[in-house]
């Protein structure tokens, strides 16, 4: 979340955005993408029963055959 805040700050206060016809839509799209990525990550971790990204799967293990 901190990275998202830094991205927003840099985008809003950079010299390239100090024009009169600034459009916030690209920033809104980027924020929406970040939120979507976070939601997908949380849902996958819940599906596989993981407490963190470093932990191993405790549910719904998929066995891949070679």
> What average pLDDT values come out for the chain (66 residues) when binned by 10 residues?
68 61 75 90 89 83 72
Q: What does each C-alpha distance from 51 to 20, 46, 57 come to in angstroms?
A: 46, 8, 9
pLDDT given for residue 31 in this prediction: 86
pLDDT given for residue 63 in this prediction: 74
C-beta separation of 34 from 26 below 8 A: no
C-beta separation of 44 from 53 below 8 A: no
pLDDT given for residue 62 in this prediction: 74
């Amino acid at each position: 979340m901190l990275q998202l805040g830094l991205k927003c700050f840099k985008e809003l206060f950079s010299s390239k955005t100090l024009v009169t016809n600034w459009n916030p839509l690209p920033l809104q799209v980027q924020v929406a993408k970040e939120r979507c990525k976070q939601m997908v990550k949380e849902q996958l971790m819940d599906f596989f029963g993981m407490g963190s990204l470093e932990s191993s799967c405790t549910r719904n293990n998929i066995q891949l055959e070679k």
